[in-house]
Structure 1
């Protein structure tokens, strides 16, 4: 077996789990994760106090109420289908809960949305403890194999622990011993409610990444105190409410892989219960290494199991190369997308479970499909069609597949995109697809191939600027700048502060001594990026601010040999030194090129950026869903 430690069993307070993989409660659709081979599946959450603990709605029902409990029990059945152990997150939102009247918390305050937060009295604490006892006892009695206490990410127990949110002056505030008093009572109450032989797990944030937050040394001490009530602990970071910390709870591509592992390793040295780490453990090699190095006993996977719920099964079978890698785009996270356009860039089934099946159906009538364009849309459509038994011919005008991914993957902060591109290349190599590179597809070429269906995925091209000097030898497109980074001089001007321009500028300023000036007629960078992507980007931009400058409300008038001339919002002209100029003002769809193919084949469809430049998620969904139904 390639990953012997990852797939070794583990006993947690008498409960045997078949491997060391925990599926976190990321998203409410957890059945795929169970069938995919995870050892423990946290099957969603149960709120502790109906009306005052939900992060979604004051109307969220008690999971164990009369008309809810049978559906809650079915969560267990779904998990047990795959031989996994079923856990459930026990949750109280505290001062951040969605409520109808008032919220509870360590401090009295009025939230930004006008909701009153009442400082919990001794009586309030007793009442909440009773809710905790009832909830975990119900979870045990209905058949869950264990419970998962959420003590991280800034929710109620963490609100008492952290000096950022706890400013009390009584016996529950001030020193760590005082701040830990109520959270420890919760765990003591839970243990008494479920008994000594029922597994209790806990998640906690090692660091909150917010001003005035709890120190890791205090978190570590709290875990030592809490160990007597626990059977396992999961180490996370960040907070859910507070974007600066949120982006460290669910990391972007700007952060390294498994960033919480060092903290988890320190916890493991300090306690005798199993320790898990959550956060950007991206592939089985990383997971196995963390266990082998003694950093952790288990790995908890969130987004990697959204990208590919079969991650465990494929790893166990030695097919790690077939795992669809998460690219950490954060489209799956409702906070990041502001509850619009939620989905997964690389797994079109996520959030679309009712229309995208878990397994593809063989084609009833195999057909010949020609795909024009080898970017993520074209590759996805070709792979899906080939897997269903269609004859697929993929035409790509360049000498390599990947489309725009080929340039993105070369950037230093894009190792996850590089992994995704390598995955796509492996899948194509192992498929029955007839790949023809260096082919300039035309309607006549398509006619000669005589397909039954035609998928056009010719993508988009970089927008050109009609300004004097743009054809100078020192003027590059964004893609050219990525390929020729070593040629760039000390002073670089980038025209355009969208995602492409800003990321190129960040890389130049971070990994070299170059000074970068970005010129843009707007007022913000990467304006089309989702919320948490932009926050992750901001934190990196702040760190590179001494070597980066933004000129907002400014447009380039002309490009000279050693400078550019710009006009600001007041109409004033000025010059900016420039050894090289990078034009990165956006992408335009190849609509005319795509539309020229219509009329050749009756069944013709366009997918991806040739419809409109968008994100990978759209391209992959369009191509997969069409080929799925061909």
Structure 2
């Protein structure tokens, strides 16, 4: 099977890019000449039984890129030389177009189904479509509607390599659905790291974690905290044969996932909690809610081991603060515990989703918002396509972003920042509310409280505040070490 895909064929097809004067440019027939010659050469070097396909963007999502009409006309003209056509979207030629190479969570699932249907109606050859199809139900719907013949599901299989088998056996509820966070798949790739998945850190580490090893010495294990780290540790430990009980202080499992899903266009992040809860249920973990682990509970239950996954709290840095300016943190905003004023300044230390997400949410609620980030640009720590999609949204909403900004002080209605490169002051006047998105402090009191009582292993943010990726990886590692 040969599947031709690349920017060179698309550049020949694009009349705004193809400026040649040697017979390969002009009307559609001339712009198709290069691809026709390539396909003919491939066919001549193989035989009629050899399958040859073409992958092309149905729409490059760029003002100067191939449009849907242009791609469709090329596909119809070429289908006599092809055994199938595979459509995607986007282009690396622009930041806005590149977002669609690995579309992030903010983009609707299966969003190319309409384009696929249009192409399918015009073609006599099989059509493949790829573009944020992350669950078997979505793929089945596209096939049932006759919009395509094959659905490509790349990240879905990185997240759950067993997805096809589970679906075939009718175990759709057991599928770990990709949430399109892009953090450990394409995010790792762009940083030169091995591809993995925040929900399934076993991916990319198959030689170490690919085959579950049953324990030879089962233990009674108490997990304190029902966030991502605690749930992963509990699920893997129980699957290995330990007797595991997870205690969550609140009524809901999920930890900071419960907050992350409240940010605009991030509701799908809640799937990380849903999927981990399913893993625990399948492994036989006992879950106790509304119960905080303390020394008395441990002495009463007498587990062999306690895994502390007690999370973190928002970090409030020391800064010169006088006057009556309202100062709140991101958690208070997301939980509706405070009522911000009209003019809001969001100060973002982590340069991740939280600061811009809070800014977007407040603008949509009618506030006038400015965002200041302690980095070179908004979303500096995020995967590229996530960052660029987010930057576009902030621009559309008219949210000004100030980079290189460190919090210095505040008074009644003014916030003082410091430029991190020059050291010069940056003054924001007429501010009613300052929202702190300054990272987190580990909530690790339990390990100290249980010193000398029982063996305690700390994981997740109570060990060191990071992201859900590190938390879930911590849970996997500690469970394998038991």
CA displacement at 1:496 relative to structure 2:
2.0
Q: Which residue of 2 aligns with 1:583?
A: 436
Question: Which of the residues 216, 234, 248 maps onto 2:86?
Answer: 234
Q: What residue ranges of structure 2 are gaps of 5+ in the alignment?
A: none
Q: How does 1:240-389 map to 2 (within 5 A)?
A: 240=92, 243-330=95-182, 331-333=184-186, 337-340=190-193, 342-357=195-210, 359-389=211-241
Instruction: Give the SS at the match of 1:325.
Output: coil
Q: Which residue of 1 aligns with 2:359?
A: 505
Q: Are 2:375 and 1:526 equivalent residues in the alignment? A: no
Q: Which residue of 2 aligns with 1:480?
A: 332
- How far apart, in 2, do the equivalents of 1:169 and 1:514 lie? 55
Q: Are 2:68 and 1:194 equivalent residues in the alignment? A: no
Q: Which residue of 2 aligns with 1:623?
A: 475
Describe the shift of the 1:206–1:486 C-alpha distance in structure 2 as closer, same or farther (beyond 3 A): farther
Q: Are 2:391 and 1:541 equivalent residues in the alignment? A: no
Instruction: Give the SS at the match of 2:60.
Output: coil
Q: How does 1:116-195 map to 2 (within 5 A)?
A: 147-152=1-6, 154=7, 156-163=8-15, 165-195=17-47
Q: How does 1:546-561 map to 2 (within 5 A)?
A: 546-550=398-402, 552-553=404-405, 555=407, 557-558=409-410, 560=412
Deviation track 1:434-457 (CA, whole Å, cap 9, x = no partner) reads: 222222222443233222222221
CA contact (8 A) 2:309 2:461 kept: yes
Instruction: Give the SS at the match of 1:191.
Output: helix
Query: RMSD of the TM alignment (CA)?
Result: 2.8
CA displacement at 1:180 relative to structure 2:
1.6
Instruction: Give the SS at the match of 2:313.
Output: strand
CA contact (8 A) 1:514 1:547 kept: no
- How far apart, in 1, do the equivalents of 2:125 and 2:341 lie? 55
Give the TM-score taking structure 2 as reference length.
Answer: 0.89
- How far apart, in 1, do the equivalents of 2:144 and 2:191 lie? 39
Describe the shift of the 1:571–1:167 C-alpha distance in structure 2 as closer, same or farther (beyond 3 A): same
CA contact (8 A) 2:264 2:357 kept: no
- How far apart, in 1, do the equivalents of 2:247 and 2:467 lie? 22
Number of aligned residues: 475
CA contact (8 A) 1:343 1:617 kept: no
- How far apart, in 2, do the equivalents of 1:337 and 1:616 lie? 19
- How far apart, in 1, do the equivalents of 2:446 and 2:305 lie? 18
- How far apart, in 2, do the equivalents of 1:451 and 1:203 lie? 56
- How far apart, in 1, do the equivalents of 2:431 and 2:74 lie? 55
Deviation track 1:326-353 (CA, whole Å, cap 9, x = no partner) reads: 1222221267542136421111122112
Give the TM-score taking structure 1 as reference length.
Answer: 0.69
CA displacement at 1:558 relative to structure 2:
2.1
Q: Which residue of 2 aligns with 1:515?
A: 368
Q: How does 1:586-625 map to 2 (within 5 A)?
A: 586-591=439-444, 593-602=446-455, 604-625=456-477
- How far apart, in 2, do the equivalents of 1:470 and 1:253 lie? 40
CA displacement at 1:181 relative to structure 2:
0.8
Instruction: Give the SS at the match of 1:247.
Output: helix
